[in-house]
Amino acid sequence: MSFEVRHKDLLGRIGYLRTKSGTLETPFLLPVVNPNSQIIRSQDLRGTYSFDALITNSYLVWRKFRGERQVPKIHRLLDFNGAIETDSGAYQILQYGEVEVQPSEIIRFQEGLDSDIAVILDVPTGAEESKDRAKWTVDETIRRADQSLRVITRNDILWVGPVQGGAYPHLVSYSAREMAKRNFSIYALGSPTPVMQQYRFEILVDMVMAAKAELPPGKPLHLFGAGHPMMFAFAVALGCDIFDSASYALFARNGRYMTTQGTSKIDELEYFPCNCLACHGATPEKVRRMLLMDRERFLASHNLHACAAELRTIKQAILDGRLWELVETRSRSHPALQAAFERMLRYGDRLEIGTPVRKRKGPFILSEQSLFRPEVIRHHTRLLQRYEPPSKSKKLLLLPEDLVAPFREESATSSAIDRWGRFRDSHVCTYSLSYAIVPVELADVYPLSQTESSLTATSVAINSARNRIAGYVKKFGYARCVIVGYAPWHEQLVTGLKRKLRGRTRIQYLEEKELDKKSIQRISKALK
């Protein structure tokens, strides 16, 4: 097995997972195929919808063929020439409480099926279990993992080690830490389906982050039961590489139409907001007049196209370095996603670690939440940890970014800034709501000058800038700070800084709306 990461953004990554039936590009979705009933034929999943892999339930196959002498080959049984992952029956444990097959028995059966990827028979925690019961499912899954590893004989199958713990992050962390000690090719987070069905995406954020913190970064993470395009961007941003779901078919059976904004009932639609191969030329009215089986097949087809399109959108966002923007945009489409995004902000430091230092494009600051994006966090962390202002700097001049940025090439402004910088004990920085404070010598370093912002001067944004500027001033011990400004929020910032610094630094505010000759003279006088 090899898993090679080619591109990253946040914790999301485009990688290549090699299986014995071909190489798969992550992130990818495994459509669930019922071996006994297929609404979309398996061969069409690859030929029409471009899914190079699928997942099926080996337990259902076992129940059908357990009396046979020879185990069928899963690729021939499903008529699919791509990669096939087989689950072990744990979903049936979650639904019905038990299965007849033993963990070692289903391991040997999956080896006989010739699966490409196979899952051990774990015990799902679920979402409503008590803490004691949840702890038992974690311990039992670890015990079964050890039992399975002793039975496994085929190393050309990628074996999946499930992480349990449900809605208890500390148990998820413990489970992931223990599973990481076992050498599985892929790890998977179990029991998210009930949480997602209840739209408790903020709990899912904690579950994923608890698992990611303990699992090997060089191995893929499979999020079991996740198959709705509305949450793919979030899950990928948190580090999930593989998804699987039967939702495309289950939703179709109930007359439901998937979009990145949520799910719509076909009976309530007047127009299709999609132009995929299924929807092109169709109307909801025509679909409603179809025979039940044809309507179900149409909706399943669209749902697959919607999932595939969103994954392509996510991959392009990773390449462009715009995964944060995509997640933030998606968060506006549903209150549950907004709650998930707010929870995701708590993990800004972890997201920063996986984010490249340079990207194809500059960041967008779209809202107050964007102030917690990795580029902003990284700037302030490195400014305090790695940067040193010019020696003997005791005076700090803060200029509004918009007064300086448009005139950087203008001789009068640039020469004035150079002159202020040559004052024996003065240092020049710009300030803004986005990055708070930027030394002028760093102003053209990526991503500072490449960032575009639509941030307005809310109290949250002003307080964020105030706290970051105050932290910088305290760190380097400036005795005086001359702040140039013209807008009401500039004055609010100065008032907040005076309270924050509490007399440690003498602050002087100069109201200047432009850097003309007279204002340059006044600023020079204040610095002397």
* Per-residue pLDDT reduced to its tens digit, 379-427: 999 999 999 998 778 899 999 998 886 555 555 677 777 777 666 688 9
Instruction: Please indicate, yes or no, if residue 322 is contained in any of the structural domains.
Output: no
Residue 33 pLDDT > 60:
yes
Instruction: Please indicate, yes or no, if residue 105 is contained in any of the structural domains.
Output: yes
Tell me the residue type at 264. S
Residue 126 neighbours by CB distance under 10 Å: 20
Domain hosting residue 126, numbered range:
2-246
217, 246, 275 — which closes off a domain?
246
Tell me the residue type at 277. L
Q: What distance in Å separates the CA atoms of residue 35 and residue 227, rounded to the nearest whole number?
A: 19
Residue 251 neighbours by CB distance under 10 Å: 22
Determine the pLDDT at residue 1. 62
**First-last CA distance in the chain:** 67
What total number of domains does the chain contain? 2
Average pLDDT over residues 213-220: 96
One domain, residues 240 and 375: no
Determine the pLDDT at residue 38. 86
CA dist 503 → 303, 361, 476, 479, 481 (Å): 62, 41, 15, 10, 11
Is-contact 469 507, C-beta < 8 A? no
Instruction: Please indicate, yes or no, if residue 349 is contained in any of the structural domains.
Output: no
Is-contact 42 29, C-beta < 8 A? no
Determine the pLDDT at residue 409. 54
179, 214, 246 — which closes off a domain?
246
* CATH code, domain with 220: 3.20.20.105
3-class SS of residue 37: strand
Of 259, 166, 254, 157, whose CA–CA distance to 208 is shortest? 166
Residue 219 pLDDT > 90:
yes
Determine the pLDDT at residue 521. 87
Backbone angles phi, psi at 8, to 5 degrees: -135, 150
Q: Confirm whether 87 is a catalytic residue.
A: yes
Instruction: Please indicate, yes or no, if residue 86 is contained in any of the structural domains.
Output: yes
Q: Say how far residue 461 (Cα) sits from the centre of its chain.
A: 24
Q: What distance in Å separates the CA atoms of residue 154 and residue 74, rounded to the nearest whole number?
A: 16
Instruction: Please indicate, yes or no, if residue 291 is contained in any of the structural domains.
Output: no
Backbone angles phi, psi at 169, to 5 degrees: -55, -35
Instruction: Please indicate, yes or no, if residue 360 is contained in any of the structural domains.
Output: no
* CATH code, domain with 475: 3.40.50.10630
The pTM for the full model equals 0.92
The residue from 9, 52, 87, 114 that is catalytic is: 87
Of 231, 227, 302, whose CA–CA distance to 264 is shortest? 302
Determine the pLDDT at residue 95. 76
Determine the pLDDT at residue 418. 73
Q: What distance in Å separates the CA atoms of residue 313 and residue 306, rounded to the nearest whole number?
A: 11
Instruction: Please indicate, yes or no, if residue 270 is contained in any of the structural domains.
Output: no
Residue 134 pLDDT > 80:
yes
Determine the pLDDT at residue 417. 75
Of 255, 349, 357, whose CA–CA distance to 302 is shortest? 255
Span of 361-370, 386-395, 476-485 with lowest mean pLDDT: 386-395
User: Residue 439 is inside which H or E element, if any?
Assistant: strand 436-439
Determine the pLDDT at residue 77. 95
Determine the pLDDT at residue 127. 72
246, 267, 300 — which closes off a domain?
246
Instruction: Please indicate, yes or no, if residue 127 is contained in any of the structural domains.
Output: yes
Residue 7 pLDDT > 90:
yes
Span of 130-144, 217-231, 393-407 with lowest mean pLDDT: 393-407
